[in-house]
Amino acid sequence: MQTSERAHRRTAYFVSDRTGITCEMLGHSLLTQFEGVRFAEITKPFIDSIDKAKALVHEINQAAEQDGARALVFCTLVNAEIEEALIGANALVIDCFQFFIAILEQELGLGSARVVGRSHSADNLGDYHHRIEAVNFALSHDDGISTRDLDEADIVLVGVSRSGKTPTCLYMALQYGIRTANYPLVAEDFQRNALPPQLHNLRRKLYGLTIQPERLQVVRNERRPGSRYSTLANCQFEVRAAEALMRQEGVPYIDTTRKSIEEIAATILHDTRLVRHVY
């Protein structure tokens, strides 16, 4: 391996005494801001003893030697002794909490609990139940498979097949405890030029997803290669008809073509002002 290559490789560790999800997400977000470095990202949850921290230091040091550059360690460790053990590693250790906790303690005039695992835990069973119920609701109301209790949905996504409805529904249910349903728009709806009858009383809860026909064709063709369903002509027809129908019926909609699940969900939640729970 050449020196110039080695200098541009770094191993980043996301280390936590609990799930590591917060520092993994923050660290990953930060690293996406740096081009020209290849980051190997490794999450190390449940580092909750000094022995585990010492074993991790050993692993970090090996990675640093291989990379020819010290590692990056993003951590959310509440126990100071465990963090001290880490500081001995050949790494830049960045505590993702400390800086903010100090500012907040001063602002609020309160000491922080300094207790591990407050976030991403199942401490509050009521909250947790709400979330699981939202996931179950999304599953049992996916793709129009059941219209039972459909009026209990917080939101009902509509759109042509493969426009992104299912992953978006699951994401909103899992991340935010929102009761989502989704209903496909199909050929007979376009022929009748009307929304499916099952949705007539839910108009205020409807939100549409659309997608560029060229992208839709690629996605559908992977699923059912060479079918009529996957032709560009059919994709163009369906998308045009679905958009016309949604406009006619006053259903707001967004183009999902270049959007991630997070972006679609954030846009919908923002537009509809649905209340999100953060878990």
Which residue of 88, 167, 197, 252 would you call a contact of its own copies, by CB under 8 A? 167
Residues 239-268 contacting its own copies, CB under 8 A? 258-263, 265-267
* 154 contacts its own copies (rule: CB under 8 A): no
Q: Evaluate whether 176 touches 269 at the Cβ level (below 8 Å).
A: yes
The nearest distance, CB 191 to its own copies, in angstroms, is: 28
Please choose, out of 48-56, 90-98, 178-186, 206-214, the segment that lies near its own copies by the rule CB under 8 A: 90-98
| DSSP-derived secondary structure letter, 231 | -
Phi, psi at residue 111, to the nearest 5°?
-80, 150
Q: Could you tell me which stretch among 48-56, 102-110, 151-159, 202-210 binds its own copies (CB under 8 A)?
A: 102-110
Cβ at position 203, least distance to its own copies in Å: 25
40 binds its own copies (CB under 8 A): no
Minimum distance of its own copies from residue 272's CB (angstroms): 13
Question: Under the criterion CB under 8 A, does residue 278 sit at the interface with its own copies?
Answer: yes
Q: What is the Cβ-side half-sphere exposure of residue 108, based on CA atoms within 13 angstroms?
A: 10
DSSP E strands, the chain: 9-16, 38-44, 71-76, 91-95, 155-159, 180-184, 206-210, 253-255
Residues 8-37 touching its own copies, rule: CB under 8 A, are: 10, 18-22, 24-26, 28-37
Judged by CB under 8 A, the chain residues 41 through 60 that form the site for its own copies are: 41, 43-46
According to DSSP, the residues that pair with 182 across neighbouring strands are 157
What letter would DSSP give residue 204? G
Smallest gap from Cβ 268 to its own copies, in A, equals: 11
What are the Cα distances from residue 238, in Å, to 150, 193, 246? 25, 12, 12
